[in-house]
Structure 1
Amino acid sequence: MSRLHSFLTLIFSILIAQSAGLIGSVATRPNIDTWYRTIAKPDFTPPDWVFPVVWPTLFLLMGIAAWLVYRSGARTSGYYSGRTASYENMLLRKAVSPWLALSVYGVHLLFNVLWSFLFFEWQLLGLAFIEVLFLLALIIITARLFYLIRPLAGYLMIPYIFWVSYASVLNGTIWWIN
């Protein structure tokens, strides 16, 4: 892979991740000053300025992690190929296909976008809470798969795991008190 190709795929990978954030913001932004300000929130809710700082940073880290996995190539020797599909084989084997990891990553991005619509646009707090738990599981699986391919890629997902864990508690608490 040439340096130019590598750089362009890095930019593309970051743009894909940031695009998920941008699409999610379509549902989020119009509802911040209206509906979200009026609902009861717990004391541990961060100030509004934190979200537009944290999310782009997390999407940047995700994009870099996905790029590292993509860059690792599609070598087939020793990779999980899907022939004996089970959670144990997929998550505990030492070698995983980058294409499997990137596919799970893509599904996780869809869940990330969906949460913004469930919570902010459609104001379905309970369903958003259930969905964010699935999202968190997908993030953990993605991070594990990324780690098996490129440990640094897995480590880059750790802040995201912590943030979505916190967001899950926040979502559940908001649902409970409203």
Structure 2
Amino acid sequence: MTAPLRPARPAWRSPRSLLILAGALALSLAASQLGSAVTVPNLPWYDGLAKPSFNPPKLAFPIAWTILYALMAVSLWRVAVIGEGAARRRALTAYAVQFALNVAWSFAFFGAQNPGLGLGVILALLAAIVWTILTFRSIDGLAAGLLHPYLAWVAFATALNASILFLN
């Protein structure tokens, strides 16, 4: 009787894996830079808006997003290395959709100076993050779990966006 085959452990330190990690980190950095490029010039507009009492201090945003983009990159890396076939394609598609919506929100809210448009984009982003978590979970539970803080922050940002729309 032969022992059951165990799946091979991913070669996390292989050149291919490290290249995927570098790409995931570069993608997160690019999204961060795009968001900053449209947000920073529009901060005077944002400062003039009425905001709810739960609006965090300005310093919270870059700290939170730095951490979240790093978690997103590691999550993407794990799925890209571990995933195979159609499951990986579905997961990467979900990730691409939520990632595009993530960047689009900055352009809608800050670039267009339109909290209503921002709210529409962020609601779609919330749904896309949930979709991404579900598709990632089918490949790697840790990768899915790394996206939970991102989901929580975007849910908070949705409440903030909605409040700003209501107050202005």
TM value normalised by structure 1: 0.84
Look up the equivalent residue of 1:55 and give its one-letter code: W
Structure 2 distance, partners of 1:36, 1:59, is 23
Structure 1 distance, partners of 2:60, 2:83, is 36
Aligned runs of 1:25-174 on 2, under 5 Å?
25-32=36-43, 34-74=44-84, 76=85, 81=86, 97-174=87-164
Q: Is the 8 A contact 2:21 2:74 kept in 1?
A: yes
Q: Is residue 7 of structure 2 the alignment partner of residue 17 of structure 1?
A: no
Partner of 1:87: none
Structure 2 distance, partners of 1:158, 1:148, is 15
Displacement of 1:18 after TM fit?
2.2
The runs of at least 4 consecutive aligned structure 1 residues that moved more than 2 Å come to none
Partner of 1:89: none
- Aligned-residue sequence identity (percent) comes to 38
TM value normalised by structure 2: 0.89
**RMSD of the alignment, in Å?**
1.2
1:124-173: CA deviation from partner (whole Å, max 9, x where unpaired)? 11111111010000001101111111000000000000000000000000
Look up the equivalent residue of 1:101 and give its one-letter code: A
Q: How many residues align?
A: 157
Structure 2 distance, partners of 1:127, 1:68, is 33
